[in-house]
Amino acid sequence: MSSPTAASLIERIRDRESIIGIVGLGYVGLPLMLRYSAIGFRVLGIDIDEEKVRKLNAGQSYIEHITAKSIGRAREAGFEATTDFERVSECDAVILCVPTPLNRHREPDMSFVINTTDAIKPYLRAGQVVSLESTTYPGTTEEELLPRMQESGLEVGSEIFLVYSPEREDPGNGKFETRSIPKVVGGHTLVCRDVGVALYEAAIDRVVPVSSTKAAEMTKLLENIHRAVNIGLVNEMKIVATRMGIDIFEVVDAASTKPFGFTPYYPGPGLGGHCIPIDPFYLTWKAREYGLHTRFIELSGEVNKAMPEYVVGRLVEGLNQRGKPLKGSRVLVLGIAYKKNVDDMRESPAVDIMELIRARGGNVEYSDPHVPVFPRMREHHFDLSSVALDGDTVAEYDAVVLATDHDAFDYLLIRQRAQLLVDSRGKYRMPAPNIVKA
């Protein structure tokens, strides 16, 4: 049976009278803010980055596929950004969209989730729902958020409500928007889940309730581990096929004509983004607590992690065939975002390729129309700006490595003018003397 507090909160959400607080205004939090604002909710955004807050309040965007116009509309509708966590008390719903990276030991770094929960804890009150959207291992919501919320003295499930609902953003994918991607919701209790369902039903076309926060957490991991494992498989198949003189992209295209039992996955230079390269390690780490060794998942991670090294190995082979060592050669990397047509650099394998080239004595530069200046990153630093492409510029480099296949590139020009072209994306299907498949 629903508590009076839950019933009142659900009613406020359905009447659009509740205030939605979103903590973490990045690739997940910002689209969610825009959706709630567009349907009539007052939204308060909270972030520790003062520059992000300043830009949002000025109606500016810092994510390429989110326009300043959309931020401006949200501002006109009442959206406000702040660095002041005390204002969590104003919100009826608090949605946490903070990073969950891996540390240098490839173990979960829960500091953002824990620090954010500690930051909002003093300002929680009865009649609120807290939802975690960050990808994480099963048990995080119960083990990290629940005890901290209970420290407030409020009873979770009757006075305050706790849910987990994994984000499912796909930056740059024009086929889907926030409202059209089904939302999985698990609650600490059934009442918590009812509140969570009401929260997301207001903004998302389809909500999928599950039995617990653990089930929702595992759902997100399964989704991305499924992709990681299949990409690992096709990456390994690419290595075998290349050695045999077979075009793996032709093979995948042919196999995908089978109308049942096959889903096409295409190889590349490795895994990138905020989920697929990371999520498998969250589960393998947690599985050890139960005495389990997830060999299959870890093997796919090893294959995918090794792909930048494979690409650089193919670059070395190509240069050697032309009587050139990598050391001292000028190499241009095309595309350093983790996927095409976005500016998102998180876990991009292209950056690993750049690091490997530099470590072996190559002089590396890059060209990416979506990343004009190499950004500050926790583990990588290049004092570089994007090279503008024309025929003469391409021809100046000893080798060009296609790492991310942005639509903006002039692929005909690149093929015609590159001395050596290392293709890790299968963009060039016809063999040519200056093309090396990687």
Q: Which tens digit of pLDDT belongs to each residue from 140-182?
A: 999 999 999 999 899 999 999 999 999 998 877 778 889 999 9
- Do 320 and 268 sit in the same domain of this protein? yes
Residues 202 and 260 in one domain: no
358 belongs to a structural domain: yes
The pTM for the full model equals 0.91
Q: Confirm whether 186 is domain-assigned.
A: yes
- Residue 266, class by beta-carbon neighbours within 10 Å (0-12 exposed, 13-18 middle, 19+ buried)? middle
Question: What is the rounded distance in angstroms from the CA atom of residue 292 to the CA atom of residue 286?
Answer: 9
Task: Quote the pLDDT of residue 36.
Answer: 98
279: domain CATH number is 3.40.50.720
Query: Could you tell me what percent of the chain has a pLDDT over 90?
Result: 87
Which of 19-33, 103-117, 360-374 bottoms out in mean pLDDT, i.e. has the lowest? 103-117
Same domain as 69, residue 172: yes
User: Residue 399 falls within a domain, yes or no?
Assistant: yes
- Are 386 and 275 in a shared domain? yes
| pLDDT of the residue at 1 | 52
- The burial of 288, by beta-carbon neighbours within 10 Å (0-12 exposed, 13-18 middle, 19 or more buried), is given as exposed
197 vs 328: CA distance, rounded Å: 58
Q: Are residues 124 and 264 both part of a single domain?
A: no
Number of domains in the chain: 2
Antiparallel, parallel or unpaired: β 183-187 and 161-164? antiparallel
* Mean pLDDT, the chain, whole residue set: 95
Considering the domain boundaries, does residue 323 fall inside one?
Answer: yes
Band (pLDDT 50/70/90 cuts) for residue 393 is very high
In a domain, 42, yes or no: yes
Whether residues 136 and 48 fall in one domain: yes
Of 211, 239, 272, the last residue of a domain is 211
Instruction: Looking at the structure, tell me whether residues 93 and 188 fall in a common domain.
Output: yes
Distance from C-alpha of 287 to C-alpha of 347, rounded to nearest angstrom: 23
Considering the domain architecture, whether residues 135 and 34 belong to the same structural domain is answered as yes
Tokens of 307: 């792909």
Q: Residue 65: which domain range?
A: 4-211
Tell which of 181, 211, 241 closes a domain: 211
> Please, how many CA atoms are within 13 Å of residue 268, restricted to the half-sphere of its CB?
20
| CB of 133 closer than 8 Å to CB of 127 | no
Q: Which of 91, 97, 192, 275 is catalytic?
A: 275
**pLDDT tens column, 16-50:** 999 999 999 999 999 999 999 999 999 999 999 99
The reply to whether 91 belongs to the active site is: no
Pairwise CA distance, residues 287 & 281, whole Å:
10
